[in-house]
């Protein structure tokens, strides 16, 4: 995975350990890698994680919808 910071390219290697996860296509595996890369870049830039409590547009399957 490559990230760009201040016009310099950084290569980042990471391993993901998952149990009982199968990808049905290369595209779905690439989508997971892209999502991980975006999360890493957000952390590096100090952006809040939208999957935590600050995410206003995301609903947890356990949260009731308020109208």
Residue 23 has what pLDDT? 83
Q: What is the mean pLDDT of residues 53-65?
A: 48
Q: Under DSSP, is residue 9 helix (H, G, I), strand (E, B) or coil?
A: strand
The token pair at 50 is 């939208």
Is pTM beyond 0.85? Reply is: no
Query: Is the per-residue pLDDT at 58 higher than 60?
Result: no
How far, rounded to the nearest angstrom, does the alpha carbon of residue 58 sit from its chain's CA centroid?
Answer: 14
């Amino acid at each position: 995975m490559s990230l760009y910071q201040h016009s310099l390219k950084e290569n980042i290697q990471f391993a993901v350990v998952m149990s009982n996860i199968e990808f049905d296509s290369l595209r779905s595996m690439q989508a997971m890698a892209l999502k991980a890369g975006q999360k890493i870049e957000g952390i590096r830039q100090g952006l809040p994680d939208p999957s935590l409590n600050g995410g206003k547009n995301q609903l947890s399957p356990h949260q009731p919808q308020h109208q």
